[in-house]
Amino acid sequence: MRFLSYWTLICLLIGLSLGELSAADTQQAVAEIASGEEMHAMEGADGHGGAHAEGEHHGLPPAAVPIFQLGPIVVTNSMVVSFAVALILIIGAQLATRSVQAVPSGLQNFFELLVEGLYQFFEEILGKHLVKQTFWFFATVFIYILTANWFGLIPGLGTIGYGHSVDGHFVVTEPLLRGVNADLNMTAAMALFFFVLWTYWSLKNVGAGGMVGHIFNVKGHGGGFLGIFLVFVFLFVGVVEIVSICIRPVALMFRLYGNVFAGENILETVMHMGGWFFGWLLVLPFYLLELLVGAVQALVFALLTAVFTALMCEHHEDEAH
C-alpha cells in the first residue's frame, strides 16, 4: 500500500505545477469576479438589480482563490485542501503498514479488504498480466478522488471566507477552502498524468507498431476493390480514433470537475433557499445524493481509464494467454 503515498505525492506535484502556470489567470479571474460583484452590490444599494445580484452569486467562484505565495509558487485554497487529503491518505497508508500482521485487524484489515476488492475488480477489466503493471495507479486514483470528493462535502468548505453583504445577505467571494476536484487544475493533472502513463503502457505492451495496427487495423481485409475500399474506411476510422484518444483526457478532466463543481454549487444554493434556520434540513437529501455522486465519479474516472488501457493492450493480453 506504499503506492498510495507515492502516487498522491506525484499527483500533487503535477497539480502544483499546473496551478503555478495558471496562477496569473486565476488572480485575474478572481479580480474580475470581485469587481463584478461590487458593481452588482452598488446596483442593489440603488434599488436596481439587487435581487439579481443576490441570486447570481450564491455559489462557489469559478476560479480557485490564491491564499498565500511561497516564492514563485502561488498556493490556492483548493491546493490547501489537496494537501490535507494527501496527508490523510499518506498517514493512513503508513499506519496500516507500520506493523503488518499475518492475521490482519483494525486499519490493516480495512485497507487489505479495500485493496483486494479493487484488485479483483480491475483484474476483470485489465487481465492478470496488465493489472500487475497498472493497479497502483487505478486503485490510488479511485481512493484519492473518493476521499477528496467526500472531504469536500465537509460543512464550511467553499462557504466560509471573505466577501461582502448584498441586500442583508453575506456573499462569500473568496472561500478559505475549496473542494479539490472543484478546481480544474487538479482534474487536469490527473487526466494528463494518466495520458502519459497510457502511452507508456501501450508502447511497453504492444509497441509503436502494435498501437498503429490497433488504431488503423489495415490488415486482413482481402484484395480487390472491396479490400482497397475497406483499407480507406479503416484509415478514416483510425484518424477518428486518434482524435478520440486526444480528447479523452479533456473529457476526463471536465467530467469530474463539472460534476463536483456543480454539486457544491447546488448544495450552497439550496442552503440559501431554506435560510439559515431551515437550510440544513432542506439540503440534507441533496447532501446524501452528493455522497453517492462522489463515489460514482471516483469509480467512473478509474473505470474509464482502466477501460481505455485495456482496449489498447488487449492484443498483448490475448498473446500472453
pLDDT at 317: 45
pLDDT at 201: 94
* pLDDT, the chain, mean: 78
Structural domain that includes position 20? 2-320
Q: Could you give the 3-state DSSP secondary structure of residue 162?
A: strand
Tally of structural domains, the chain: 1
Q: 168 vs 263, which has greater pLDDT?
A: 263
Rounded distance, CA 147 to CA 150, Å? 5
Has residue 77 got a pLDDT over 60?
yes
pLDDT at 232: 78
pLDDT tier for residue 107 given thresholds of 50, 70 and 90: confident
pLDDT tier for residue 281 given thresholds of 50, 70 and 90: confident
- 82 touches 178 (CB < 8 A): no
pLDDT at 279: 67
Q: Label residues 277-307 b or e (16+ Cβ within 10 Å = b).
A: eebeeebeeebeebeebbeebbebbbbebbe
Q: 50 vs 312, which has greater pLDDT?
A: 312
pLDDT at 172: 72
Q: Read off the pLDDT of residues 12-43 as tens digits, 9 standing for 90 and up.
A: 544 444 444 444 444 444 444 444 444 444 44
Has residue 174 got a pLDDT over 60?
yes
The predicted model scores a pTM of: 0.77
Q: What is the mean pLDDT of residues 155-164?
A: 75
